[in-house]
Amino acid sequence: MRELTLRGIVIGGIITLVFTAANVYLGLKVGLTLSASSGPGPSASPPSGRC
C-alpha cells in the first residue's frame, strides 16, 4: 500500500478541513441571508380573530 503515506494523509486532512470550513461558512451565510430577506414570519402577523 504505497499510496497511503503520512504525507498523503496530512495533505488530505488539511484539504478536508479547508473545504468543510468553506462549506459551513457559505451555508450559514446563505441560510442567514435567505431567512433575513424573507420578511416577517407568521408569528409577526396580527391575530385574525378566528379560532
- The per-residue pLDDT for range 16-51, each reduced to its tens digit, is 999 999 999 998 888 776 666 655 555 555 556 665
Which grid coordinates belong to 24? 459551513
pTM, 2 dp: 0.55
Choose among 27, 9, 8: nearest CA to 19. Answer: 27
DSSP of 1-51, one letter per residue?
-TT--HHHHHHHHHHHHHHHHHHHHHHHHHHHHHHHHT---GGGSPP-S--
